[in-house]
Amino acid sequence: MGVIDDNSWEKYNDLHIDEVDNVFKNKSNWVGGGLDCYIQAVSIIKELNIPYTIELAFSLKSKKKIANHIITDINFLKKELDHSPPSLYVFHNDWKGLSELKQKGIKLSNFTDNDEIVGSFYYYQVFNERDSEVRRVLFCI
């Protein structure tokens, strides 16, 4: 709730899931743990009835060029994770960046059959000139 109270969400202040519980330090727990944390965070926001949206972001291995394929399912996601644990972000519902985030990504349909996930999954990749690599992210919002 600190990011809401101090408005640090405006600076993309995030919470890596390994900071939530030590069990998430193990990379094999990142996908399931990230989804569980997302579901819990969305539930808390709804219970408190506050106008915020939760985003879950998975950082993926960088590539040398834009990939023609996208992440198609959970198993593929597990193979593509980079060295950084998934992160949770919170954004005010009227923040214009929410729609921009969705527009930047490719919306994935039928990514997971988990009915508790209320958001949609998006795949995003962008070339970073500084290190000549394509940064890739899968996010649920």
- CB-CB contact of 32 with 112 (8 Å): no
- pLDDT at position 131 is 83
- pLDDT at position 90 is 92
CA 26 to chain centroid, in Å, comes to 18
- pLDDT at position 140 is 94
- The pLDDT tens digits of the residues spanning 34-74 come to 999 999 999 999 999 999 999 999 999 988 888 777 788 88
Secondary structure (3-state) at 69: coil
- CB-CB contact of 31 with 116 (8 Å): no
- pLDDT at position 83 is 95
Q: Which residues of the chain have pLDDT under 70?
A: 1-12
Strand bridging mode 106-108 / 121-128: antiparallel
- pLDDT at position 11 is 58
- pLDDT at position 2 is 59
- pLDDT at position 30 is 97
Number of domains, the chain: 1
- pLDDT at position 12 is 64
Q: Which domain holds residue 117?
A: 2-140
